[in-house]
Amino acid sequence: MRPIFDSTAAGMHAPWWLPGNSGRYLSSTMLIEHNGRMWQALFSVRKSDLYTRFDAFLPWLALLTGFASTMLLYMLFHTLASSRRRAIQMATGMTEELRASQIRLQLSHQKLRRLAAHADQIKEEERKRIAREIHDDLGQNLLVLRIDADMLASRTQRRHPRLNARARSTLEQIDATIKSVRQIINDLRPTVLDLGVNAAVEWQVAQFRLRTGIACEVSESHDDICLSDQCATALFRILQESLSNISQHANASRVQVKLEKCRDTVSMSVSDNGVGAAIDGRNKLGSFGLVGIEERIKLLGGTFHIESSPGAGMSVHVSVPLGADATAFPYQEESRASA
């Protein structure tokens, strides 16, 4: 068979069918009918002409690109996971530090409350000591002076009118001094507290009524309520502070004090029909009256709440256990906080 046409230039390339060249070429055969005859067309091309040098590196480039993409995705997810893990560790550390700070703050608060209870106890004991010394020393001396002045006034009444007048004037000054000393003693530590909380409340209400002219009623459900000295003193001071607030700020015309005993607790309420106040008024800067009442009740392990609104008066309610001890309660609360 002789080829009719060969697209390759003569002498430049060896034909594809020659031995040793078939592996370097790709060939294809096609039958063509022309002029009533069958012709066999042979097509061949060198394999090296089908691709360039870039095509040889394309698989490696694809492999490198895939590897780089995989590494980038890995680094991205690893960074996200590491950031989340660090954030969780940081949040955990901050939470633990916050809890530790809260525990330290709570313990410091309990220590301050214990210190306040100790200071309050010392203050009451010092008041009691000063009142006793004034009563025993100054009171006795004034009583002796009054007896001598009264004897002098009695003996000079007829013979020495001018000396008698001086003696009477001295006697009046001594009486006024004795009255002032008694008032100081009552302010420091009323002796009526030794008679019980009921008598102390009635005496304080009577003094408030006499001093201010405001109608004040006392309602008691039990007689002779037995309380510890600390608890009775605390209730008496709370009553003093409440009545003082009423006389200074409430502009009230009627006050009612209730003292009740219910099982193992004692409750006291002080109500007025004054102008009232906002509940958060106790948080004002420099306002320590209601804050002092609340702190005293907390030291005794009791409860304290206020009912008030502008124009509708105010009611202060306190309740304490019968066996309340201001020095023991902070320690108990601190032990619960530590646990």
pLDDT, one tens digit per residue, over 69-92 is 999 999 999 999 999 999 999 999
Arithmetic mean of pLDDT over the chain: 80
Give me the sign of the Cα torsion angle 187, 191, 196, 199: negative
Q: What percent of the chain has pLDDT over 70?
A: 84
Strands 314-321, 303-308: pairing kind: antiparallel
The whole-angstrom distance between residue 144's C-alpha and the CA centroid of its chain comes to 57
Highest-pLDDT range among 98-107, 149-158, 296-305: 98-107
- Closest alpha carbon to 326 in 127, 128, 117: 117
How confident is residue 137, by pLDDT bands cut at 50, 70 and 90?
A: confident
pLDDT of residue 325: 63
How confident is residue 285, by pLDDT bands cut at 50, 70 and 90?
A: very low
Task: Name all domains of the chain by residue range, CATH numbers in brackets.
Answer: 192-339 (3.30.565.10)
pLDDT value at 145 more than 50: yes
Tally of CB atoms within 10 A around 24: 12
What's the rounded mean pLDDT across residues 50-71?
84
d(CA 71, CA 224): 87
pLDDT of residue 333: 44
What's the rounded mean pLDDT across residues 175-188?
88
pLDDT value at 330 more than 60: no
What's the rounded mean pLDDT across residues 271-277?
84
d(CA 312, CA 66): 80
- Residue 270 main-chain phi, psi, to 5 deg: -125, 115
pLDDT, one tens digit per residue, over 191-240 is 888 888 888 899 999 989 998 899 998 888 766 788 888 888 888 888 98
pLDDT value at 35 more than 70: yes
CB 216 within 8 A of CB 242: no
What letter represents residue 313's amino acid?
G
Looking at 189-316, list the stretches that DSSP marks H as alpha helix, in order from N- to C-terminal side.
Answer: 197-212, 229-245, 289-299
For residues 250 and 285, the model is more confident at 250
For residues 39 and 214, the model is more confident at 214
| Helices and strands, counts by H and E, the chain | 7, 7
d(CA 86, CA 121): 52
What's the rounded mean pLDDT across residues 142-160?
86
d(CA 82, CA 298): 48
Tally of CB atoms within 10 A around 243: 24
- E strands, 10-141, where? 25-34, 37-46
Total length of the chain: 339
Please list the helix, strand and coil fractions of the chain in percent, rounded to the nearest 5, in that order.
60, 15, 20
What's the rounded mean pLDDT across residues 263-290?
70
